[in-house]
Amino acid sequence: MADSTSRVISQPECGGDAKSENVSPSFTEIIVIRHGETEWNADGRIQGHLDVELNDIGRQQATAVAARLSKEPRISVIYSSDLKRAHETAEIIARSCGDLEVIKDPDLRERHLGDLQGISLREAAKSQPLAYKAFLSDRNDQVIPGGGESLDQLYQRCTSCLQRIAKNHRGKRVVVVSHGGAIRALHMRASPHSRSKSKIWNTSVGILHLSDKDEWTVKLWADVSHLNKTEFLNSGFGGDKTSG
């Protein structure tokens, strides 16, 4: 599933200062954000492509990350999954960053989880045993019954989307708001020989550099320092293997 041409130049898992005033014309800096919390995150319910909006905690998380990103210099544009939880997060960020344009792209959606969508993970083994078994499979080409995607399909969709965004904004700083499973697929493309050990918390921040030679570099990953002074750090479900 990982692209054999990937090279990792730098790969801190989280923390550190990856911000600079200018972006080199040879790459695109993409700030990757997971959406804020939803009631289904809080309840441990599987969302996938189902369109669930942010809860109050999620909106406060989005406000916190928006305040952080408002200090980032020269953000050009914001891309977002077209699902409400991501798009609302993106709109909150956009308002804090000078009313930036938000472009919705369905290729930034979460993995489609088929018959598991709408039920809690704890009840999935009994209510949807075939889909649950497929979800736990080690095979990257295993689709989930009920129209679900394989990990390979998720990887291809998300990484191709990010490559398009990078090509269209070379030398720019761009924000992308997406979902836990999709963001983990992006990390796999950037670092194919080292899986992320960090949970992708709601509104966590990652920074990727995509070069004009199609090299992906992880500069920052799974950072939630903007939430450290709030009560909202450990509340969300998903962002790990439960996101597919």
Binding residues for substrate are: 34-41, 85
CB 213 within 8 A of CB 222: no
Determine contact, residues 34/65, Cβ cutoff 8 Å.
no
Helical packing angle, 151-168 and 180-190, nearest 10°: 70
Of 186, 228, 236, give the one whose Cα is nearest residue 65: 228
The Cα–Cα gap between 158 and 177 comes to 12
Active site residues: 35, 110
Annotated binding site: 34-41, 85
Q: Is the Cα dihedral 15, 196, 179, 159 positive or negative?
A: positive
Question: What whole-number distance in Å separates Cα of residue 33 and Cα of residue 28?
Answer: 16
Q: Which two tokens stand for residue 210?
A: 């995509």
